[in-house]
């Protein structure tokens, strides 16, 4: 057994303790809010049948699925003609019948259908697990990353949208990130297409509007013309995109434009009700009606939402929306719902960029005993046991090494306080406590240490 190469697959990451603690802070915050709103946890396996995964993410998505080679003699069932032709694409389904999940939505849909008789609807679930995509790795894009999803399925009530938005607001407030939560409704976009007399061009309209943030109004106009909208149609659109004022004013103005469109009016009413549910609970400057928010093409059918940081340049930190049919592809149509997903990696980058991780989030020891060996070590252990019994994370350096080495360890781990139980201290029934930042030293009794550390 020779030396093995030391590397991990490209696009994957090791997480060291400090990064883990910061990541845990994000995940724990999200999970805490999910739980406070009564959402229930589920988990699904990393591997799914390839038949569950393929055809759900488009042709491009299918290519990004990681396949698991069948165990044992995986070639026994392979078509010899395909083998001879070296037809990788044709062979893959024969030699690799399982794959790694690509997102949490398709496994969730499969889960709901498979367990529909064990679930209580409306079903409010959250799921925080890694997903895998064979994407070309680049800055901020990984082949393994966590998704943090929450969905409510089996309820058409717009109260669900309002709850998700409250949860979003609460998560970012707790993390200390200033955000705008942008809201729109796919029915409004359909109404706008109708208003322009081009209901059949909804997709083109949506794709052009989706670029507003990147290319501005002029760019959108160019894009619309390229997609076959006439000059006068674009001219009719501009006032709709320019509606301003408070959210209520914007909704009123747009409602007036779309009053002839049944779908458009329905969208405006839905959006309006979501705002009404949220009155007094979300600051006005956070929540914004945004009629060019599009969020991709398929899937969503009602409310759509997206979150961006106000003080840091970064894509969407969280997004979601309402869908009419989550589970139809698995033979159980008509189950609607609304959901959202936090992008933990982007949130991490924003928090690093804005220096938002306090040292308080560290889960490491808050006190370390220096190890002097012998009876002093034994006495330190007795103290340590009582300090830990109070739930205080703490440790003793395991070896009777040079004090300098032990202090360097405490320093490297950012342990704020170090306790010295030397011969003299032991005789007095005290320890010398050193504050690592100020260098201040005091002689303290056990109850005093516990009181201090519990503050």
Q: What is the dihedral of CA 75, 103, 156, 309, to 10 degrees?
A: -170
Shortest approach of a second copy to residue 18 CB, angstroms?
Answer: 8
- Using an 8 Å Cβ cutoff, are 22 and 351 in contact? yes
Q: Which is nearer to a second copy, 23 or 432 (CB)?
A: 23
- Using an 8 Å Cβ cutoff, are 245 and 169 in contact? no
Shortest approach of a second copy to residue 282 CB, angstroms?
Answer: 11
Backbone angles phi, psi at 233, to 5 degrees: -70, -45
Q: Which is nearer to a second copy, 13 or 454 (CB)?
A: 13
Q: Which is nearer to a second copy, 95 or 179 (CB)?
A: 95
Shortest approach of a second copy to residue 344 CB, angstroms?
Answer: 12
Q: How many other CB atoms are found less than 10 A from the CB of residue 300?
A: 23
Q: Which long-range contacts (CB under 8 A, 24 or more apart) does 266-271 make?
A: 266/187, 266/191, 267/185, 267/186, 267/187, 267/188, 267/189, 267/190, 267/191, 267/302, 268/185, 268/188, 268/191, 270/158, 270/185, 270/187, 270/302, 270/303, 271/183, 271/184, 271/185, 271/188, 271/303
- Using an 8 Å Cβ cutoff, are 351 and 175 in contact? yes
Shortest approach of a second copy to residue 1 CB, angstroms?
Answer: 5
Shortest approach of a second copy to residue 13 CB, angstroms?
Answer: 6
**Which residue's structure tokens are 């991990």?**
8
Per the structure block, which two tokens stand in for 135?
Answer: 């994407």
Q: Which is nearer to a second copy, 152 or 254 (CB)?
A: 152
Shortest approach of a second copy to residue 271 CB, angstroms?
Answer: 17
Residue 428: which of 376, 371, 389, 374 has the closest Cα? 376
Q: Which is nearer to a second copy, 16 or 218 (CB)?
A: 16
Q: Which is nearer to a second copy, 134 or 444 (CB)?
A: 134
Shortest approach of a second copy to residue 403 CB, angstroms?
Answer: 16
Shortest approach of a second copy to residue 101 CB, angstroms?
Answer: 11
Cβ contacts of 198 within 8 Å, gap of 6 or more: 205, 229, 233
- Give the span between the Cα atoms of 101 and 120, in whole angstroms: 25
Shortest approach of a second copy to residue 205 CB, angstroms?
Answer: 25
Q: How many other CB atoms are found less than 10 A from the CB of residue 252?
A: 14
**Which residue's structure tokens are 């724990």?**
28
Shortest approach of a second copy to residue 45 CB, angstroms?
Answer: 4
Strands annotated E in 385-450:
394-396, 417-420, 431-435, 441-444
**Which residue's structure tokens are 């202090």?**
407
């Amino acid at each position: 057994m020779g030396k093995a190469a030391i590397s991990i697959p490209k696009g994957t990451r090791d997480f060291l303790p400090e990064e883990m603690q910061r990541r845990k802070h994000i995940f724990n915050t999200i999970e805490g809010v999910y739980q406070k709103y009564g959402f229930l946890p589920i988990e699904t396996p990393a591997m799914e049948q390839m038949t569950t995964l393929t055809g759900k993410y488009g042709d491009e998505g299918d290519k990004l699925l990681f396949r698991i080679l069948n165990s044992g003699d995986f070639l026994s069932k392979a078509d010899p003609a395909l083998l001879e032709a070296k037809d990788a694409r044709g062979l893959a389904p024969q030699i690799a019948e399982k794959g790694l999940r690509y997102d949490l939505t398709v496994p969730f849909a499969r889960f709901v259908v498979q367990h529909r008789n064990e679930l209580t609807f409306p079903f409010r679930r959250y799921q925080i697990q890694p997903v895998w995509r064979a994407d070309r790795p680049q800055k901020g894009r990984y082949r393994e990353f966590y998704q943090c999803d929450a969905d409510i399925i089996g309820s058409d009530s717009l109260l669900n949208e309002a709850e998700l938005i409250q949860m979003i607001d609460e998560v970012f407030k707790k993390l200390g990130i200033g955000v705008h939560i942008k809201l729109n409704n796919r029915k409004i976009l359909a109404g706008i297409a109708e208003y322009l007399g081009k209901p059949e061009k909804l997709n083109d309209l949506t794709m052009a509007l989706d670029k507003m943030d990147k290319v501005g109004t002029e760019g959108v106009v160019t894009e619309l013309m390229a997609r076959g909208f006439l000059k006068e149609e674009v001219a009719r659109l501009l006032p709709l995109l320019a509606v301003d004022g408070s959210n209520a004013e914007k909704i009123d103005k747009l409602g007036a434009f779309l009053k002839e469109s049944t779908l458009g009016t329905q969208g405006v009413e839905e959006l309006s009700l979501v705002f009404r549910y949220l009155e007094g609970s979300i600051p006005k400057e956070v929540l914004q009606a945004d009629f060019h928010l599009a969020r991709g093409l398929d899937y969503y059918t009602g409310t759509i939402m997206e979150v961006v940081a106000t003080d840091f340049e970064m894509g969407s930190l969280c997004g979601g929306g309402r869908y009419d049919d989550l589970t139809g592809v698995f033979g159980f149509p008509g189950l609607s719902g609304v959901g959202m997903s936090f992008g933990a990696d982007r949130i991490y980058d924003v928090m690093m960029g804005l220096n938002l991780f306090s040292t308080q989030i560290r889960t490491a020891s808050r006190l370390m005993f220096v190890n002097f060996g012998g009876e002093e070590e034994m006495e330190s252990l007795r103290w340590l046991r009582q300090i830990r019994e109070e739930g205080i994370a703490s440790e003793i350096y395991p070896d009777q090494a040079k004090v300098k080495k032990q202090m360097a360890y405490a320093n490297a781990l950012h342990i704020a306080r170090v306790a010295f139980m030397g011969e003299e201290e032991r005789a007095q029934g005290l320890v010398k406590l050193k504050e690592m930042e100020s260098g201040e030293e005091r002689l303290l009794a056990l109850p005093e240490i516990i009181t201090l550390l519990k503050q």
